[in-house]
Structure 1
Amino acid sequence: MLALNAKEEEKKIEIKKEVFLVCGCFNKDWISLTNEQQKFDTLICCLCNRIANSAMELQCDEHENAEHVYLVGEECLQTYLKQNNGKCPIGQHEHCDFSKNKMARQQVSDLLVICPRQYDLNIYLQSNGGRKSGEKEEYGKCNCNYKGKIKEMKDHLNNSCNLMPIQQNNLLNIQSELGAMRQQIRQLKENDDEQKRQIQQLNVITFFFKKKKKKFNFNFLSG
């Protein structure tokens, strides 16, 4: 029994843990909570207008004299090139040339942020989540006060954060509700089967009573 409980606890821990694999660019609203805008104004992805994650710099000859550097998040750039036959997002010319911008990557990595799960939770409670009865109080009992650099966020989320993603939490709630509904369906089916069995028994009894009554009437008339 103890071993079973231990396994259940391990499963709960695994559910709460999340491998932090941030590929897309970062939300500016999240970043701006703990950083002045001028600190990240030059770190914007020119495709999605968010903070460039794993920043790539476009270095095509066609815009080498541009007044500013064209930064693009690595995932945004890969997706764009795949969907546009390798054409550069600036000017739509062939043979897009790009390389890693180490300075921009370092600047983004050093940006100070709050826990992204706490940010998602705050947004959720301010929108539709807070409308549900009791949900705001339930979520309000848990919070994460972590504040650190983006480059440290993976370790925090995987090892020390006590919050789980809103989507995952909602999924667990849905699974719990579905489980309760399945139990109710099974109970109704069992009740229905029991009612059918009782009806069948009554039909058998009724049949024998009718047969007995018919025999009695026949004997009475014969006598």
Structure 2
Amino acid sequence: MIVKMQDKCIESEKSQQVSNLLITCYRQYDLKKNQSKEGNIYENKCNYKGKISKMKDHLDNSCRLISIRQIILLVKDTIAIASRKFTNSFEELRKMNLKSNAEIENLKEGDNEKSKEIQQLKQCQRTYEEILKSNNDEQYKQITKLNLRIFYFKKNYTFVFAILHYNLKIEFEKFKKDIQSKNQINEDKRKLLQYIAKKTAIPKWHYMKRIDFLHEK
């Protein structure tokens, strides 16, 4: 019994010693192996050196060498968020009382702009998927460049979308005011004709026909 307890203590001490060993970042180690094979030097690197027990937290939260899997997840999340924003915005505008052909054309133009941006995001995703399928070490260089492209695209995307949404909202408000103004003018004409009809004793069928004629105009 005592021997077993001693063995457990020794194993625990060894496990603790292993856990406290300082090691370099796994990704930096893999990157150096690739550099030695092809003779190239990559700009990105990770200088982390710490305990084995802390390595998982480092890889998940602070490592500068982002993994390919994380990049793919980032692209997919970005596309999903963009699609939801576009869909919600477009549906919100569609539910409004839009009746004129001019406003329908404006919505089509806005939808085309959104489709172009979605296609750009999908193209980025296809590029990453092609890189994953390739076993060539050249993929590390391509991932570094695409990582920068995604960073700048995300930075500018919010601003571009806000401008597009703002412009569509202004166009809709303008159209709504025009419709209200036209309806008010027609209502004033109708009341005026009714008033004239009363004063001049014009038959009802005559001024009602005149009102229908004004609505056609």
Normalising by structure 2, we get a TM-score of 0.31
The structure with higher relative contact order (CA 8 Å, sep 6+) is 1
By percentage of residues, which structure has more strand?
A: 1
